[in-house]
Amino acid sequence: MIIFKNPTELQTHLSRLRQAGSDIGFVPTMGALHAGHTALIRHSKKENTVTVCSIFVNPTQFNDIKDFDKYPKTIEADVRLLIAEGNDILFLPEVKDVYPSGTAGLEQYPLGYLETILEGQYRPGHFQGVCQVMKRLLNHVLPKRLYMGQKDYQQCLVVKKLLDEFNGIELIAVPTVREADGLAMSSRNLRLSDTERTKAPAIFRALQEISNNIDKEPLPGLLAKVRSGLQSAGLRPDYVAVASADDLILIDDYNRQPQCIALIAAYLNEVRLIDNMLIEG
């Protein structure tokens, strides 16, 4: 595996590979890699000649400075895992490489409705930061295919919108990889204490409860019941919602929509976890 820290050197290398006919698959991450990330790498390796993974903890997407400061960093284990997975290139830039003019006064993206709900509502500025970093990373890598996790469903829709600015990059959304007890794998799980870890699968069970009962009882009552179940299990939900899977328009009447999605964000003490589940109509 080749490691690049400098964006210009990465660009030169990738443009040679592109000229030689290589398809480039790109997996952007913030590190502390787990089996969710490796699923993206494996998808990319199957479908492309060259896979580039980036590890960059992007300061502009953290609306909570404590969350940024405490974001897990396990770079040596990450490099070992990427080598074992046969990842071809690791892009490991520093903040000054990604934001050479600093992180103040950056461009704003017209995300409209998507930025006003769910993660957009509870993490003001988060998706602006996602777009700011993704645009820069994509400009360096110029992949043919971009791999992202369905676990961050709203992020996938935001990035899909951003891809309108690029020429034909295909976004592939990879299903969420879970622990045996249903907890969605996440780098933030490393921050959970043993007690918190035992409580965390309540989020997955809550999503199952919504999915299993959505056609049996009125949605507002079901969501309220699930929310209070999470509270009784020791979590503090930001939201428990159901939306149309296409555009995340929130719904309070199920009515057998073709496809909708249940989404939850909840705190376990200081750690904020998110998850979702697609529900076929």
Q: Which residues bind ligand AMP (CB under 6 A)?
A: 29-30, 36-37, 39-40, 148-149, 151-152, 174, 176-177, 184-187
In the complex with ligand AMP, which residue's Cβ is closer, 146 or 210? Answer: 146
CB of 173 to ligand AMP, least distance (A): 8
Instruction: Note whether 143 and 24 are within 8 A (CB).
Output: yes
How far apart, in whole angstroms, are the C-alpha atoms of residue 3 and residue 263?
Answer: 36
Helix and strand numbers (H, E) in the chain are 11, 9
Classify residue 94 as left (phi > 0), alpha (psi -120 to 50) or beta. Answer: beta
In the complex with ligand AMP, which residue's Cβ is closer, 7 or 129? Answer: 129
In the complex with ligand AMP, which residue's Cβ is closer, 34 or 219? Answer: 34
In the complex with ligand AMP, which residue's Cβ is closer, 186 or 257? Answer: 186
Catalytic site residues?
37
Classify residue 22 as left (phi > 0), alpha (psi -120 to 50) or beta. Answer: beta
Rg over CA atoms, the chain: 19
CB of 140 to ligand AMP, least distance (A): 17
Distances (CA, A) of 247 to 66, 157, 158, 169: 31, 8, 10, 20
How far apart, in whole angstroms, are the C-alpha atoms of residue 22 and residue 16?
Answer: 9
CB of 255 to ligand AMP, least distance (A): 29
CB of 30 to ligand AMP, least distance (A): 4
